[in-house]
Chains A and B, each alone.
Chain A
Amino acid sequence: MLARPGLPDFEYIRAETPQDVFRLLGEKGDKIKLLMGGTDLFIQMRDRSEGAEILLDVKYLPGMQEINFNKKKGLTVGAAVTLNQLSIHPDVKTHYGILSQSADTVGNYQLRNRATLGGNLCNASPSADLAPAALVYEGTVCLTGPDGNRELGVDEFMIGPGKTALKAGEFLTGLHFSIPPPDAVGQYLKLGRSKKGDLAIVGVAVLGYSDSEVPSGFRFRIGLNSTAPTPYRVPQAEELLAQNQITEEILNQAADEAMKVSAPIEDVRATALYQKKMVRNLTFKSLKEVWDLLKKS
């Protein structure tokens, strides 16, 4: 019923090649847990007092800790890049500021030296702080398995609390983000019970940019976490903002849409009602601030 002291039993194996992983996963399947930073995995193993036959460390596989940026192709981040590495990377800061900003809100500095971007998404917690940013940059996850590689939208990857679209034998190798629109601006607002160091009660990432194709002349992408079984976008609100001239009233309506779409549960961190209201208030605040930035530029 309570977390145990120390970690339960397992064998540690460091994978040197993807083939090692495929082979072991093929042989032992669900008796294996994949390890990167372990900051989710270890906590869960203590909580459930549940060991594993093998902890297969995949973070030293080639490319897993690399960040590559190319002005045409965009950004590729290895699954095992730590949140601190992600946050300080100059290209990430310049072109994907919300990723960098979101990374800085996770737990604390020591933790972020271990916690990885890939782990954050693979853990598929509704409150994953990197998810809203990954959603608004419309990132894709790169998966590899015995049958080859495939890519999926981040929005298709997390399918429920703790559940991903990974198939048996597959694992995450990295994320890819194409180049955002040239004048895109955005931010991640996170509300916790403490100013810093807490999980999100609500987190909202907003990315805004100009688009002459739509009546309002602007597009906004809104990504939220913690208030539904998975992190989510709010297409209804995004559409509203594309189709109507942007006014405070419209921003408010968009925020109301987000609140409508949200589906928080009552939990020890906050009441469902409060979470809903915070979806509205934070979405409005963030839209407004991003709109102000857009107007300036």
Chain B
Amino acid sequence: MKISESGLIGKSVPRTDVIDKVTGCAVFVDDIQFGPSLLHSRLVRSPYPHALIKRISTKKAEELPGVRAVVTGKDLTARLGLYLIDRPIFASDRVRYYGEPVAGVVANTEDIAVEAAKLVKIDYEVLPAIYDPVESTQPDAPLLHPDLGSYTVANFIFPEPGTNISEHFKIRKGDVESSWSNCAALAEGRFSLPPIEHVPLETHTSIALSEKSGQMTLWASSQSPFAMRDMIAQCLGIPHNKLRVIAPLVGGGFGGKAGVTMEACAVVMAQAVEGRPVKLRLTREEEFVGTSVRQSLVSEIKVGCDKDGNLLAMELTYYFGGGAYNDYGVNIARAAGYSCTGPYDVPNVKADSLCVYTNHPVGSAMRGFGMPEIHWGLEQIMDQLAENIGMDPAEFRLKNCVRTDDEIVTGMKMTPIDLEACIDKVSKAIDWEKKEQPTAPNKKRGKGIAIMWKAPAMPPNPGSAAVVRFNEDATVNVEVGGQELGQGSFTIAAQIAAETLGVPYNSVTVSSPLDTKYSPYEWQTVASRLTWSMGNAVKAAAEDARTQILETVADHWGEEVDDLTIKDGLVISFKSEREQPLDKMVIYGLPNEDFEGWKGGPVIGRGHFMPTYVTNLDPETGQGTRAVVHYTVGAQAVDLEVDLETGQLEVLNIASAYDVGRAINPDLIMTQIEGGAVHGMSSAFEALKFNESGEVLNPSFVDYRIANIADIPRKIHGDYVETPIGDGPWGARGVGEHVMVQTAPAIANALYDAVGIRFSDLPLSADKIYLALERKNETG
């Protein structure tokens, strides 16, 4: 571990938010008190996955005493979206998933709102629904968005109007067809995974207040207050300066609180009851049914290598089941497209990555953004190919994994990474070569390995801004627009500011809640981009403030700025060895030597960062100079055993290693790695389940099981490698999502090692494993 000169970069300083969080002082949206003016609301949701709305009658609901307003989508024609503007706030003519909001009820109490919601009468004409993304691409599939051709769309997204295909990303590189005959071994497979939920412990909650002046304020549990403001403002025609989004701490996001979920519903309801704040809080059941999901995926993969195990060609088709609205999902299919090969060096690639409308909940960002989905198949097919050519899976990966400066699938030159070191680290940690004995006679044990890559998936030019403000006593407020979701972004911001300014870490406070009225701009807290992008902005802002201070002092002393520095809150001169404390001077400046007048003034540093070097990709070949800013890579290895009597799988050990560029706060990286390993493990067993009529069957913690404390591996090993990148603060890049990308396929590979059966469809329920074991025993 390297520690910077002043000791803050590379040091595991305590989290800025931890005392608030262990004492119950941390404020989340639901905790804000509004007093008696607060009104409550409930949404009326569709009981069908696909239907035409024939008639909505709100009269009975409106007549219920205590009801303030009932709103529908009748007069709301505009749609919401980030990349493809396709989603209504309230469905008005057609519903496309079970649980879609159709109306909203505002009342004096939640109890009244519940009763009123029951009184909203909606007549539907049920339409045939479609759930399978492959079937949905067929010509005879029911069409979900007949108006697709008229939707506004980002210039790098390519929908196919007249079909259910909302995005089609293509890679055509080299010559795949003629390569197959040169292959000494091939592997082919079809893999699938169901929609899963983010399951933050805090459900989506928002409060909206519309004032007579035209000012709209929205308190929301949001990863992206600025993107939220932008989307809602555009949709409802509110000037950005009149829409203020306030986002306190977030009780878990994982992508589910990026963009807009139900917050626009709260805004529309608030418009109907001017002057009174309206709260919309989702129940846990609604969180499962009515918020965005990680999309389903069906992937078809064919891959071949030469006799020495060098990858030659790869052919891929990804069908992302994007759900009812693909306003965000299209960019997941795109990200999956430009990273379609996984972290491998493959000269010939043909890939089609599709996002497809289905009558499932809205697909959206979830930790990994397309990468866990595609790695599920990729990392198993690589094991199959290694087996077919007679190589050890770890050795096969070491041979074929992507390296710095390789030309990768999009034609871009690979940014600096060391994936081999990650593979070595996890192999060692798990004792890869060693065959372990099961802990009981009725069990079988196995090991598996999987590697990954992921680039921040975002538009080419998302920006970050930061402000560093000094107070009279030389303490510092850092203002950012990036959110604290538990990943530690505020701590990193404080560390970077303190290091750059030369002030003690504990003199820095990061301002919360985020507030679009006061906080500097941040595109979104997604894509593991904050340490990197917001980090750069904070560093720039701190440098700006530092320069202001040094110029004032240099002027005051008649010295050169280059001879001065700030250390422990003191400006010092290398030349004259003079010292100047920061307190007071950072606000009041310094008097001239002759006491005739003053220099300086309140110090406010500002900084921003925006990547300016990402290029477009050719729509037919997916080739371009620089598809993304950079990649983070990593490896995981799993040791597990299976109970042959029940099919239950127990993960004994997960070892992870990621190349983080530079570890700004090593312990925070470890917390991501550990939490991610368990999240990744849990995801292998999770599924949102639907019956034939599209109804969600498991909208509770009882039946949608996430890992509890008894489920975790006996050992969770974490490690990292530091290969700095050029455009990150001290070389750092993100690692928040990567930590769960390849856990599920690592488990599947270990399961194969243990019992010799390939499971190509998630979830890995004990039920499924047991019955497959029995079938295998019967057929011998």
- A–B touch (CB < 8 A): the answer is yes
- Tell me the complex Cα distance, A213–B253, Å: 65
In the complex, chain A residues whose CB is within 8 Å of the CB of B771: 271, 273-274, 277
A interface footprint on B26-70 (CB within 8 Å = 1, 0 otherwise) = 000000000000000010010100000000000000000000000
A interface footprint on B552-586 (CB within 8 Å = 1, 0 otherwise) = 00000000000000000000000000000000000
Shortest 9 CB-CB contacts between residues of A and residues of B = A196-B710, A274-B767, A195-B710, A268-B697, A2-B285, A3-B285, A281-B645, A4-B114, A5-B283
Q: Can you list 13 A-B pairs, Cβ within 8 angstroms, ordered by A?
A: A2-B45, A2-B285, A2-B289, A3-B285, A9-B111, A193-B766, A194-B707, A194-B708, A270-B765, A271-B771, A274-B647, A274-B767, A277-B774
In the complex, chain A residues whose CB is within 8 Å of the CB of B114: 4-6, 8, 49
- Tell me the complex Cα distance, A196–B709, Å: 9
Using known A-B contacts A197-B708, A271-B767, A281-B646, determine if residue A5 contacts B110 with beta carbons closer than 8 Å: yes
- Tell me the complex Cα distance, A288–B271, Å: 68
Which of A1, A4, A5, A271 lies in contact with B45, CB distance below 8 A?
Answer: A1
- Select the stretch in B207-215, B390-398, B698-706 that faces chain A: B698-706
Answer yes or no: B711 CB below 8 A from chain A CBs: yes
A interface footprint on B686-722 (CB within 8 Å = 1, 0 otherwise) = 0001000001011110110101101100000000000
Q: A2-B699, A8-B114, A268-B703 are in contact. List 5 more A-B contacts (CB 8 A).
A: A1-B45, A5-B283, A9-B111, A269-B703, A281-B645
Chain B's nearest CB lies how many Å from the CB of A282? Answer: 8
Task: Report yes or no: B111 in contact with A198, Cβ–Cβ below 8 A.
Answer: no
> A182-199: which have CB < 8 Å to B?
191, 193-199
Which of B47, B283, B707 lies in contact with A1, CB distance below 8 A?
Answer: B47
- Tell me the complex Cα distance, A87–B708, Å: 22
In the complex, chain B residues whose CB is within 8 Å of the CB of A2: 45, 99, 283, 285-286, 289, 699
- Tell me the complex Cα distance, A194–B110, Å: 34
Answer yes or no: B83 CB below 8 A from chain A CBs: no
Answer yes or no: A278 CB below 8 A from chain B CBs: yes
Task: Report yes or no: A278 in contact with B646, Cβ–Cβ below 8 A.
Answer: yes
Answer yes or no: B281 CB below 8 A from chain A CBs: yes
In the complex, chain B residues whose CB is within 8 Å of the CB of A114: none
In the complex, chain B residues whose CB is within 8 Å of the CB of A281: 645-646
Task: Report yes or no: B111 in contact with A268, Cβ–Cβ below 8 A.
Answer: no
Answer yes or no: A285 CB below 8 A from chain B CBs: yes
Answer yes or no: B770 CB below 8 A from chain A CBs: yes
In the complex, chain A residues whose CB is within 8 Å of the CB of B710: 194-197
In the complex, chain A residues whose CB is within 8 Å of the CB of B685: 193
In the complex, chain A residues whose CB is within 8 Å of the CB of B111: 6, 8-9
Q: What is the total number of residues of chain A having a CB less than 8 Å from a CB of chain B?
A: 28
Nearest residue (CB) in A for B281 is: A5
Chain A's nearest CB lies how many Å from the CB of B451? Answer: 29
A interface footprint on B376-397 (CB within 8 Å = 1, 0 otherwise) = 0000000000000000000000
In the complex, chain B residues whose CB is within 8 Å of the CB of A6: 110-111, 114
Task: Report yes or no: A277 in contact with B770, Cβ–Cβ below 8 A.
Answer: yes
> A42-73: which have CB < 8 Å to B?
49
> A254-297: which have CB < 8 Å to B?
268-271, 273-274, 277-278, 281-282, 285
Choose among A6, A195, A274, A285 the residue with the greatest number of B CB atoms under 10 Å from its CB: A274
Chain A's nearest CB lies how many Å from the CB of B522? Answer: 32
**Helix, strand, loop or mixed for chain B's interface?**
loop
Which of A195, A270, A282 lies in contact with B767, CB distance below 8 A?
Answer: A270
Chain B's nearest CB lies how many Å from the CB of A126? Answer: 15
In the complex, chain B residues whose CB is within 8 Å of the CB of A8: 111, 114
- Tell me the complex Cα distance, A113–B311, Å: 59
Nearest residue (CB) in B for A197 is: B708
Task: Report yes or no: B283 in contact with A3, Cβ–Cβ below 8 A.
Answer: yes
Task: Report yes or no: A199 in contact with B702, Cβ–Cβ below 8 A.
Answer: yes
- Tell me the complex Cα distance, A5–B205, Å: 13
A interface footprint on B663-696 (CB within 8 Å = 1, 0 otherwise) = 0000000000000000000000100010000010
Chain B's nearest CB lies how many Å from the CB of A248? Answer: 14
In the complex, chain A residues whose CB is within 8 Å of the CB of B770: 274, 277-278
- Tell me the complex Cα distance, A270–B42, Å: 33
In the complex, chain A residues whose CB is within 8 Å of the CB of B47: 1
- Tell me the complex Cα distance, A141–B688, Å: 40
Nearest residue (CB) in A for B109 is: A6
B interface footprint on A1-17 (CB within 8 Å = 1, 0 otherwise) = 11111101100000000
Task: Report yes or no: A195 in contact with B283, Cβ–Cβ below 8 A.
Answer: no
In the complex, chain B residues whose CB is within 8 Å of the CB of A198: 702, 705
- Tell me the complex Cα distance, A2–B284, Å: 10
B interface footprint on A197-241 (CB within 8 Å = 1, 0 otherwise) = 111000000000000000000000000000000000000000000
Using known A-B contacts A3-B283, A274-B770, determine if residue A195 contacts B711 with beta carbons closer than 8 Å: yes
Using known A-B contacts A271-B767, A277-B774, determine if residue A193 contacts B283 with beta carbons closer than 8 Å: no
Task: Report yes or no: A193 in contact with B705, Cβ–Cβ below 8 A.
Answer: yes
- Tell me the complex Cα distance, A107–B30, Å: 27
Task: Report yes or no: A194 in contact with B711, Cβ–Cβ below 8 A.
Answer: yes
In the complex, chain A residues whose CB is within 8 Å of the CB of B689: 268
Using known A-B contacts A9-B111, A194-B708, A277-B770, determine if residue A268 contacts B283 with beta carbons closer than 8 Å: no
In the complex, chain B residues whose CB is within 8 Å of the CB of A273: 771
- Tell me the complex Cα distance, A270–B770, Å: 11
In the complex, chain A residues whose CB is within 8 Å of the CB of B711: 194-195
A interface footprint on B174-204 (CB within 8 Å = 1, 0 otherwise) = 0000000000000000000000000000000
> B327-347: which have CB < 8 Å to A?
none
Chain A's nearest CB lies how many Å from the CB of B650? Answer: 8
Chain B's nearest CB lies how many Å from the CB of A289? Answer: 12
Chain B's nearest CB lies how many Å from the CB of A7? Answer: 9
In the complex, chain B residues whose CB is within 8 Å of the CB of A191: 646, 648
- Tell me the complex Cα distance, A277–B774, Å: 10
In the complex, chain A residues whose CB is within 8 Å of the CB of B42: 5
In the complex, chain A residues whose CB is within 8 Å of the CB of B700: 3
> A1-35: which have CB < 8 Å to B?
1-6, 8-9
Task: Report yes or no: A4 in contact with B283, Cβ–Cβ below 8 A.
Answer: yes
In the complex, chain B residues whose CB is within 8 Å of the CB of A193: 685, 705, 765-766
In the complex, chain A residues whose CB is within 8 Å of the CB of B697: 268
A interface footprint on B338-372 (CB within 8 Å = 1, 0 otherwise) = 00000000000000000000000000000000000
Nearest residue (CB) in B for A199 is: B702
Nearest residue (CB) in B for A108 is: B708
Task: Report yes or no: B705 in contact with A194, Cβ–Cβ below 8 A.
Answer: yes
A interface footprint on B247-291 (CB within 8 Å = 1, 0 otherwise) = 000000000000000000000000000000000010111100100
- Tell me the complex Cα distance, A194–B710, Å: 8
In the complex, chain B residues whose CB is within 8 Å of the CB of A49: 114, 118
Chain B's nearest CB lies how many Å from the CB of A43? Answer: 9
> B756-776: which have CB < 8 Å to A?
765-767, 770-771, 774
Nearest residue (CB) in A for B647 is: A274
In the complex, chain A residues whose CB is within 8 Å of the CB of B281: 5
In the complex, chain A residues whose CB is within 8 Å of the CB of B774: 277
> B214-265: which have CB < 8 Å to A?
none
In the complex, chain A residues whose CB is within 8 Å of the CB of B703: 268-269
